[in-house]
C-alpha cells in the first residue's frame, strides 16, 4: 500500500520519510498535531494499534512505507519510538567494481529512504527490476552496478571493506 496524500496519516508518513534519524520518538500529542485529528481510542488502549504488521492499515503503512518500525510503545507516557530496521549485507568486489546483490540494493534503498518505485525512478529502471534484484531473481548488470555505486557514493552509503556490515539504516521503504 502506498500512503496517499489524502490519507489521514500522510503527514506522519511524510515527516518520517524525510527524517535522516535512525530513531524518532513522538508523543501522541505530536502525532495528533501532524495528522490534524485525535488518535483513535485503540492507540491509547493497547499495543495492537502500533503493530508493524499490515501495510493495508493506514497508520502502519505510514511508518512502514517511510522505512520505520515501531520499536517501543509507552502507553503511560503516551509516546512511540520508531526505528529503522538494521540491514545486513556483504560488500563483494571484483577489481574496482562492486558486485551488487539483493541485500545491498535493499540497504541502499533503505539508506535513501526510498521505496522500490522511487529507487527505480532514480536509476531509470522499472520498479519490477528493483524488486527482482532485491529478491535475487536477477543481479544488476556491470553497467547498472557502476550506476548503483555512483549513487551510493553520492549519498554516503557505507560500503565497509568487503566485510559484513550492519548499518542502523538512516532511511527505509518497501
What value does the mean pLDDT take over residues 123-129?
95
Among the three residues 83, 98, 115, which one is the final residue of a domain in this structure? 83
Output the pLDDT for position 3: 83
High-pLDDT (> 90) share of the chain, %: 53
Scanning 6-57, the segments in alpha helix (DSSP H) are 10-18, 28-35, 41-45
Q: Facing residues of 135 across strands?
A: none
Residue 171 has pLDDT above 60, yes or no: no
Output the pLDDT for position 55: 55
Instruction: Tell whether 119 and 156 lie within a shared domain.
Output: yes
Interatomic CA distance for residues 70 and 61, integer angstroms: 11
Q: Which residues form the domain of 25?
A: 10-83
Among the three residues 60, 83, 106, which one is the final residue of a domain in this structure? 83
Rounded-to-5 percentages of helix, strand, coil across the chain: 40, 20, 40
Total domains present in the chain? 2
High-pLDDT (> 70) share of the chain, %: 89
Question: What pTM, to 2 d.p., does this model score?
Answer: 0.58
Interatomic CA distance for residues 174 and 152, integer angstroms: 18
Instruction: Tell whether 77 and 130 lie within a shared domain.
Output: no
pLDDT band at residue 167, thresholds of 50, 70 and 90? very low
Instruction: Tell whether 79 and 91 lie within a shared domain.
Output: no
Burial 113-142 (b: 16+ CB within 10 A, else e): bbbbbbbbeebebeeebbbbbbeeeeebee
| Tens digits of residue pLDDT in 39-94 | 999 999 988 999 987 655 789 889 988 888 899 999 999 999 999 877 788 888 88
Scanning 46-168, the segments in alpha helix (DSSP H) are 58-65, 102-112, 116-123, 127-134, 142-154
Among the three residues 83, 114, 143, which one is the final residue of a domain in this structure? 83
Amino acid at each position: 500500500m502506498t500512503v496517499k496524500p489524502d490519507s489521514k496519516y500522510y503527514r506522519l508518513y511524510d515527516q518520517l520519510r524525510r527524517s535522516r534519524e535512525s530513531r524518532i520518538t513522538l508523543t501522541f500529542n505530536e502525532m495528533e498535531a501532524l495528522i490534524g485529528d485525535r488518535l483513535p481510542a485503540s492507540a491509547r488502549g493497547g499495543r495492537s494499534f502500533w503493530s508493524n504488521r499490515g501495510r493495508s492499515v493506514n497508520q502502519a503503512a505510514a511508518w512502514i512505507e517511510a522505512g520505520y518500525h515501531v520499536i517501543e510503545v509507552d502507553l503511560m507516557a503516551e509516546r512511540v519510538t520508531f526505528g529503522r530496521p538494521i540491514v545486513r549485507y556483504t560488500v563483494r568486489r571484483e577489481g574496482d567494481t562492486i558486485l551488487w546483490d539483493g541485500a545491498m540494493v535493499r540497504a541502499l534503498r533503505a539508506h535513501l529512504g526510498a521505496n522500490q518505485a522511487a529507487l527505480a525512478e532514480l536509476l531509470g529502471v522499472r520498479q519490477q527490476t528493483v524488486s527482482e534484484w532485491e529478491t535475487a531473481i536477477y543481479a544488476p548488470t556491470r553497467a547498472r552496478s557502476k550506476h548503483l555505486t555512483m549513487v551510493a557514493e553520492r549519498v554516503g552509503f557505507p560500503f565497509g571493506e568487503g566485510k559484513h556490515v550492519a548499518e542502523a539504516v538512516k532511511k527505509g521503504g518497501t
